[in-house]
Every structure is written in structure tokens, then in C-alpha cells.
Amino acid sequence: MEKDNVCINCYNQIDKVAKVLKLGQAELDILTIPKRILTFSFPVKLDSGDIRYFTGYRVQFNDARGPTKGGIRFHPEVNLEEIKTLAFLMTLKCAVANLPYGGAKGGIMIEPKQFSEEELERVSRGYIREINGFIGHDVDIPAPDVNTDSKIMAWMLDEYEKLKGRHSPATITGKPIALGGSKARDFSTSIGGAYVLQELTETFDMKPKKTSVAVQGFGNVGMNIARILHEWGYKVIAVSDSKSGIYNKNGLNIKDVISHKQKTGQLSKFKNSGEISNEELLELKTEVLVPAALEDQITKKNAGSVKAKLILEMANRPITPEADDALLEKGVFVMPDILANAGGVVVSYFEWVQNSQNFYWSEKEVLEKLKTYMANAAKELSKVCTDFKCDMRASLYINAVKKILEAERLRGNLR
């Protein structure tokens, strides 16, 4: 097997689990070699009239449990190895959340801030033209991710439907409500994580008003979880975005912070707060740390300086495997991304179900169902922890890997 076809990071992620479950080579191949990898370039006409070529990816990792599911990100540092790893993690996430999906991920190498809305629309449509033959409501279902949103999903759905000559709302999730999107979808990842944190703080007898929280990342996920936790009475002492951060040991009024960011385009110079960098935020003395930005934020270099008691991974893979070991030795409790940020894909699943039935639910119904799914997944996780006597991340991996391999065995792909 060519090295380029193997997910190198996946080996690192499942190394411990492979030993516990005594996985053979065929099982390791299923868990480290994506089923399908699409790499392509496509031209886009810019507003200036110039032609620019963009590189895009779509990785469909495993579909033993159902059609693949995963977001599309726009970021200048997108690369194939990252997309393979994220598709692998999506496979695990859907299994842990008990969704009838496999995992996928997609991305385009682009800095969206450098392009107009019209140019981004052309990029979005160009991407769909490249992958339209490999997606569909029962094949692979894209969704938003870093730097993409419901508007971009609307463009992508429209392009897909034009190419196919029929309506197919269940092919893409994270759409505007007017095009079949689900209520609560725009903050589902955040509130799903908040539900998980709520259970954890109850388990550890941490009262919200006495629980300090620092949130790294103030995009859709970070902003909304900061808002939700503030509304629930948690003391959010620090938040940051890609440019700067703010801190107040007595707590920030997140509603006012959001208003300030919307008016000024920045977090800095918010009233009654001090400036703080992303690096400093990660090392703050706080009960709860929420990394909600990009991957590999906590590494072996700074893990020793982390002072939080509990880390809720709202970003995908924000802690490196080496840092994970260091945090475990320090006694820091980590709730991995595979469950912590699964709220988004759970409500994407709800959207897919609603689109398929052409029957739509109220926001209250969506949130009630989401809380049930997150609670059930947490209970399963607790049982695996007890059965295997291992840490939280290992428990999640064991739980997910067992489900995926069981599906492969039932299909006759494993002996």
C-alpha cells in the first residue's frame, strides 16, 4: 500500500487501543486506510478577471455503518494528511454518537478573508462540481466546518441540484432553515458540548457559579459555547480569537463581548478586561479550559504549563498524543472531541432525517433529542471506562473501534 494512501496520524491515534483490543493487520488497515481519497484542482474566475486555481480534497474514510458524513473547511493550511485524520475522527465520532454514518471530511486550500463573497460562491460551486459524482444523501453528506457556514452550504446544495436536475436537500446539511435546515443547527456543536460539560460538572460536584471557564477560539463554536455557559451561570473569565484575547478573573459578560466583536471586528479593547494571547489563555488557572480553535494547540511544549482541572475539546484534535499523555500524568481530566463536539453531527443527522421525511421539528424537540443522544453516548462511555479500566480518550476509541469493526465483520469484510 502506498504511503500516501495511509493515514499516518491514525496510527498514532489508535496505537494504544490496538494493543488493548489486540487488532490484527486487516483491522488496522480498515482503521488507517481511507476507502476513497479525492484530490483535485479547479479554476475560479476572480472579480479582477484573473483565473486562480484552488486545491480541494474529499476523504471518505469508512462507510461500514452507513453513508459517510463530514464537514468542508476553507483554510490556507488545509492538506491531505489533515483531511484524512479528520475523516478518521468523524468515523469514530459517528460511531460513538450512535449515528448510522461513516466518516468523511473535505477542504479547500484558501484564505477566505482575502476573497469577496462572489468569489467564495464561485469557489464553493467549483468544489461541488468536482465531487458531485461521489456525494449524495445515501453516499456522502457534506456539512459546514472551519470558515464555512449555512450560506456556503446553500450555494453548494444549489450547484449539486442543478447538476443532478432534481431536489436533494438531504445531500448537504447545515443549510439555512428556508432550504430545509434544522432548527438549532447553527449552535448545535456548542450546546452539545455544554450538555456534556453539564454532566461532567455534576459528576465532579462543580457548581456553575464557582466554575471558571476559558475559551480559546471565538468563531461559531467558541462564541456560542461561551454564550451558553455564561447564560447557564458559569464564570467565563477569558476568550480569544485568531488575533487577540481578553481576560477578567471575575468573569466576562459574553453577551456584551459578542456585541463588541460584531461592532469592532475584534475582541481587544473590550471594557473592564485585560489583553491576553492565545498561548497565555491555554495556561490560565481555571477550572475548565475549552479549546475551540484549530488542531494541535496543546503540545508537549506547553502541556506542562496547563493549569485547568478539566479540558473540553470543542475543536478537532486540539491536543497532540504526546500532550495527552502529559496531561494524564498531571491528573487533568480531558473530554475528547469525539464526544465533546459531536452535537453538530448529531443535529446534522436530525436535519438529514427531517429532509428525508419532509417533516420538521421544533427547536425544543431538536434540543431534547440532542440532549438524549449526548447523555446516552456518555453513559456508554462510562461503562467502557469501567470495563476496560482506562482513560476517557482510550474509552472513546475502544467504543467506536469495536462498533466499526463489528459492522465490517457483519458485512464479511473481516474474519
Active site residues: 105
Quickly list DSSP for 140-158. EEEEE-TT--HHHHHHHHH
Q: Which amino acid is it at 370? A: L
What cell does 80 get? 491531505
- Grouping H, G, I as helix, E, B as strand and the rest as coil, residue 369 is helix
The two beta strands, 288-291 and 274-276, are unpaired
Closest residue by Cα to residue 121 from 97, 144, 151 = 151
Helix H or strand E segment including 276: strand 274-276
Q: What is the dihedral of CA 379, 381, 383, 388, to 10 degrees?
A: -170
What cell does 288 get? 475548565
What cell does 354 get? 427531517
Give the single-character DSSP code of 182: P
CB 134 within 8 A of CB 38: yes
- Grouping H, G, I as helix, E, B as strand and the rest as coil, residue 351 is helix
Q: What is the dihedral of CA 23, 24, 27, 33, to 10 degrees?
A: 110
